[in-house]
Amino acid sequence: MADHEQEVARAVDIDIDGTRDQWQLANECPLALVYHQRNYAVMLASPQDLTDFAYGFSISERVVSDASEIKSVRAVPNVLGIDLHMEIDEKRLERLDLTQRRRHLVGASGCGLCGLDNADQFLAKLPKVAAVTPAKDAMDKAMAAFSSHQQLNQQTHSVHGAAWVSLSGDIIAVREDVGRHNAVDKLLGARARAALAGEAFPQGFLMVSSRCSFEIVEKAARHNVGALLSISAPTALALDKAAEAGLQLYAGAPGGIARF
């Protein structure tokens, strides 16, 4: 599927101390996730890399156990935004109760947990991951190069980024979104799709341009990510959940990169 063409940034006139200029504003729109004609959630997201988002979100939410269970993805524009229609494996669908699991509220761009229908999803134990220990030089290299790979943020100065980084510190792929959790889903969805196509990303780690909150750790664990590097510190809950999953957690600190 080709992602539905939507404006990801819009130029507006601004006034800076009496001087007229232009500023690019990031767009966000309601993105409805629909499985076999059953509404599951509505997220506010940047309207790009939608197929990646569909895969990443579906695995993060445990709607599917792996990318092979997604059979098709189709983006359909509506008056307010985009409907993202997905067909999944029939046997998997039979084992799910999407009515029970679905989100009844809009997931805001700043929150990856909004609208969860019951607390069990929030408290669910995370799976153990294959831990990875990146070298300090590799993390330093990736941090220094990160901003130059965030093309939408260079235009708008208002979106988050998630990157997959090889153990040598090379940035393999980047995805961006107004929501940090959406950027992570897009990036991990791209990784899952690459593996499905026989073009697996090299061994490495996830890097995010934001603080490390619980939902970022949860998504990483659901995708068997062994290490996570964030620009700023994790929350206490994020640290506890990372320990539960065996995920190595790192963050930028005044003196360099901290390991938690």
Q: So where are the chain's domains?
A: 29-123, 136-259
Per-residue model confidence (pLDDT) at position 1: 42
Sign of CA dihedral 60, 66, 67, 72: negative
Per-residue model confidence (pLDDT) at position 102: 58
> If DSSP states are collapsed to H, E and C, what string results for 129-163?
CCCCCCCHHHHHHHHHHHHHHCHHHHHHCCCEEEE
Catalytically active residues, by annotation:
111
CATH class (in words) of the domain with range 136-259? alpha beta
Per-residue model confidence (pLDDT) at position 95: 81
CA distance 49 to 32: 15
Architecture of the domain delimited by 29-123:
Roll (3.10)
Q: What single-letter DSSP state applies at residue 65?
A: S
Residue 111 reports pLDDT greater than 90: no
What pLDDT digit, counting tens, does each position of 3-44 carry?
555 788 899 999 888 899 888 999 999 999 999 998 899 999
Least confident piece of the model among 110-119, 131-140, 185-194, 238-247:
110-119
The structure tokens listed for 172 are 């393999």
Q: Give the model's confidence band at 105: pLDDT under 50 very low, under 70 low, under 90 confident, else very high.
A: very low
Q: Give the model's confidence band at 211: pLDDT under 50 very low, under 70 low, under 90 confident, else very high.
A: confident
Per-residue model confidence (pLDDT) at position 2: 46
Do 181 and 108 form a contact (C-beta atoms < 8 A)?
Answer: no
The structure tokens listed for 21 are 């200029």
What pLDDT digit, counting tens, does each position of 67-89 carry?
999 999 999 999 889 999 999 99
C-alpha distances in Å from residue 43, one per residue of 37, 53, 156? 17, 11, 21
